[in-house]
Amino acid sequence: MAKIITYNVNGIRSAMGKGLLEWIKASNPDVICFQELKAEPSQIDVTVFEKMGYNHYWYPAQKKGYSGVAILSKQKPTHVEYGCGTKIYDDEGRILRADFGAVSVMSVYHPSGSSGEERQAFKMKWLDFFQKYIDNLKKDYKNLIICGDYNICHQAIDIHNPKSNANSSGFLPEEREWIDGFMKSGFIDSFRFFNKEPHNYSWWSFRANARAKNLGWRIDYNLVSNNLESKLKRAAILPEAKHSDHCPVMLEIDF
């Protein structure tokens, strides 16, 4: 059994200052996929993760204090793939994959389009690219667990106010159509596989006391290849962990 956690830490140094390490020690996941590091490994004390028994792999963005992904794992991967081979995306540190024999775990940080039209256009281009990239990858890697911040709410149940957010980046019809199609191309939304209830979110705005009121969005997912369905054991969102404006999302799977 493996416990896998995806966590957009919104700056790993900031999160470490808010008790992230103690939380990892207590929750003891086998694999952690971080997004939005906003740091390079040289800027943090990576030995703290080694002392907890983790192998660690980092893929920061070229731009300082921006984006970046990482994977920590108790088991040493058979192979680690840095990036996707396309410079415009790799410069932003968006994809990192660790293979554990027949199963591959990916940490992905999908772009946000909330800063304006230019980034929204970039996001839509990326989504098109990512679908093709994964379609191609699936030919050789049948068992994928794609963890990360997708920056998209799939359905109305995944956002606190679907009506007023109908024209907000992250809940646009074309984004929702994309994630729906992506799931239908061969992936299970592991959280929804086990949990059908509303009011389950993984990100809250820092504004208007949104987190205390649970006015959130579910934009962080552990998507699992359809053929691993029988291996799924449990999934949960962990909102009590407060090191970021996101919270961790957990998957337990037999592999």
pLDDT attached to residue 255: 84
pLDDT attached to residue 160: 97
Active-site positions read 149
Which residue is listed with tokens 């990916």?
A: 106
- For residues 5 and 79, give the distance between their C-alpha atoms in angstroms, rounded to a whole number: 19
Which residues of the chain, if any, have pLDDT below 50? Answer: none
pLDDT attached to residue 195: 98
Which residue, 61, 62, 143, is CA-closest to 70? 61
